Each structure stands twice: as C-alpha cells, then as structure tokens.
Amino acid sequence: MASDRLIVIGGVAAGLSAASRARRLNTNLEIRVYEKGPDISYSACGLPYFIAGSPREADALRVYSAEFFRTQRNIQVFTNHEAVQILPGRRRVTVVAQGSGPEDVHFTSLVLATGAEPARPAINGLDLTGVFHVNDLQAAIKLKHFLESEKPRRAAIIGGGYIGLEMAEAMTAAGLEVTLVDRSAALFEAVDEEIASLVEAELDGRGVRVCKGARAAGIFGDRTGRVRQMALEGAGEASLETDCVILATGVRPRAKLAEEAGIEIGVTGAIAVDEFMETSAASIYAAGDCAEARHLVSGRPAYVPLGTTANKQGRVAGENAAGGRARFAGIVGTAVTKVFNLEVARTGLSSEEARQAGFKIAAASVRAASRARYLGGKDILVRLIAERSTGRLLGGQMAGPEGVAKRIDVLATALHARLTVEQLGQLDLSYAPPFSAAWDPILIAAQEMQRELRR
C-alpha cells in the first residue's frame, strides 16, 4: 500500500511554508513540492529593490535551495516541473517535467500554492524587446540585464499600484527618465485621495512624470523590434517616447488548474477556501496568492495578494494537510510601501471600500509630528475611517517621511480587536522624544475622529 504523500504545487512563499509546517507535524509523511519555474524560496517583494541596485546580486533574494529542503527537511523539491491536471476523485496530479513527458503522481493530500500571474493589458506590442513585468525573479533578472546592456534613457510604467510606485523609484535610481501612466483619475487607489495626493507630490518632486486618467493604447517599436513609443488615450497627448515599458497592471490568481479540476472559484476570482484553507474538494487545500481570504472588517471574501498572508495561509494549509486542525483567522489588508522618501501605509477599508461594503462612514484626518520637533520630527498625515453609528474603526491610512511603517500596525491590531475610535484613543502607547510626541499621531487622529462622530 502506498504511503501517505503530500503534494504541494508551487515553491515560493505559501508552498514552502506549507511543506515545512507539514514536515514539523509529521516526520513520516512523504512531501513533494513541484515548481514550474527554475526558482524557489525567494523574496518577490525585494524585486524592485534589486532593480534599483540594492541588493546588487539576484542570489541575495534567494532564501533556501532545493538541496537545503532535501537534506535539512526531507522535502523533495522539483523545479521546472509543471502540474497540468488534477483529478480530485482519483487523488492524482499530472506533472510534466521540462523536456519530459507527463507523469501521474498519487497524493493523500494536496496544497495548491500556484500564486498569481501578471494581469497583462489587452494592447499590441507586448512582445517587443524592452517590455517587462517584475512578478518573478527571472523577469526581474531579464530587466536588470536589459538596463545594464542596452542602457535605455526613458521608461514608461503602466499602473499606479504598489509595484508601479516601487518601480518608479527603482527606475529613477537606475538613471532613467520615468513616466507613470495610470488609467484611474486618482493615483494609487488603495488609499483615499488625500493620501494619494502626497504620493503624487513625492513622485513629481523626484522627477517622475505622472499621467492620470490615461490608458496605454499600444506599444510600438522600430525595425529591430525594440520599444520606441507608447500610444495613450485619455491623456493630454497621443503618445510618449520611451525605450522601456514596465507592466505594473496588477496580478490575478492562478486558479485555472483548480477550476479545471472542478474546484470552486470564489467571487474574487481566486480559489474559495474555508477557515482551514480547505477547498471544495476534500483533502485539497489552497494558500497564498491563488486563494481568497476573509476580510475581518467587511466580513466578505477578499483577494489581497501579499507575502505576509501567503506565509500564514501556507502554514495553516500545511498543518491541516498533515492531519492537524489549524485555522486562518482572516486579514485586514495591512500594507506599507516606500515611494522615495515617503512612507505610505494602509489597513482595513478605504472610504470607498467601506461604502461598497455597506457602511455609513465618517472620516477624519490630522497632521501630527512623528516625534519631538526639537529632535527633527516630521509631520505624518493620519486618516481614519469609522462606522458613523457605532464609532467602530473600519480603516486607517498614513503617509509621511518617517514613523509610518510600524504605526500602521497599531491600527491593524485595533481592527483585529474591533475597537471603537474611542477605545483607540485610550491606548497606552509608548512615548519618548526620539520616537514620538507625548500625544502620538494615532491618538490625535482618534480625538479628531471622535469630534467628527459627534457632529
């Protein structure tokens, strides 16, 4: 009789977290990880910084090798092996190795950690030399090589989300003239307009040209097939000259393999899972950028592809695939990024997201010093969103040159605890002049919000 076998499809954050957790719980379980690409266990979030030159070598982003997992954790990792079919009823996965034919592999339990893929715009010219995305390590290496060998002068970035903003800084650091094209009227839709305006001002101050409300209509090249121009719609001009195009138009879950196997796909387009990370098929779990998560503020399924969520979901999926009963509580959508010298963070629901979720909201914003001004403290803009009838905190956003990145975690904790704004304002937060003012910006924002709620 065949021994118990866990198969994990996907060898980055969620997949290897699942495999590692399963191994800790069950030392006798056979564990195989199939990754369709050549790389495993690397920091995808570090890719824009690699492009900018820190770190200088791609190997710095690699955490563990397949050999490490084989020798240190007794986990077999197969790179360049693509899973092309799942047969849930027969508990089999068809795997195709690069240069070989298909192989059917039996499993006792299965974790889908297939991640996300770039959402490519439906325009001509995506196959030209000089068009890149940066959603995986190999793509980032190709872009870095292009910058070093071709030495382009100008870059156009399509998309004003997290990756677009980080790549604007990275390409500027690489010495290029940068234009960022975003089809929405307000840049960086993850935050409210008041915060987004600070992001736009920072980009402008660093020489990045921003085209809002503009859509890339096509990319055109010269006789050698190299990018030379991008056509625009909705902008003040019909085209812009460029030597390089970065696609930062977001990602979508790689859920086709699951869908073709009859596994339920959720309302977000990602794989539907329960609190145990189990899919609609028994003993098949999903985790990471291919899976949904429950948003603890809205109570609805959400798709927020972040490395922190992927690692936690993978850990839960791996434990349960090995016979445990762990639960994944959910998310509040906490994220932080850096745009040149501006820290920008958010958690919970934005004003628009809260309205779409059915809340009647109140919002308040304050500017307050990150630390004592006599020690060089700079202003932080803090914005809170609350439910008007109850005062329950629904979300928060911050932007400023310092002190933002970890303060957002206070608001994230408050959301997990379902605190009201009044309770938020009573938190006993730390104080010393090098780190905060006597009244922390969060407490000042809570006071302002209470005044707003009384109106």
Positions annotated as catalytic residues are: 45
Listed in sequence order, the DSSP H helices in 174-306 are 193-205, 256-260
In sequence order, the 6+-apart residues with CB closer than 8 A to the CB of 207 are: 172, 177, 178
Per-residue b/e over 412-448, b at no fewer than 16 CB within 10 Å?
A: bebbbeebbbbebbeeeeeeeeeebbeebbbbbbbbb
Bridge partners, residue 454, by sequence: none
Whole-angstrom Cα Rg for the chain: 23
> How would you classify residue 328: left for phi > 0, otherwise alpha for psi between -120 and 50, otherwise beta?
beta
Closest CA to 280 of 94, 117, 112: 112
Token pair for 391: 């005062």
Token pair for 352: 């628009």
Euclidean distance between CA atoms 61 and 444, whole angstroms: 39
Q: Please report, as a single letter, which amino acid is at residue 126.
A: L
Euclidean distance between CA atoms 16 and 112, whole angstroms: 11
Closest CA to 7 of 114, 115, 106: 106
Euclidean distance between CA atoms 204 and 346, whole angstroms: 22
Token pair for 174: 């690489």
Euclidean distance between CA atoms 328 and 312, whole angstroms: 8
Residue for token pair 């809260």:
354
Euclidean distance between CA atoms 449 and 366, whole angstroms: 9
In sequence order, the 6+-apart residues with CB closer than 8 A to the CB of 336 are: 343, 344, 345, 346, 404, 405, 408
162, burial (CB in 10 Å: exposed 0-12, middle 13-18, buried 19+): buried
Contact 243, 151 (CB under 8 A): no
CA 171, distance to chain mean position in Å, is 20
In 3-state terms, what secondary structure has residue 306?
coil
Widest CA span in the chain: 73
Token pair for 33: 């990880």
Contact 34, 19 (CB under 8 A): no
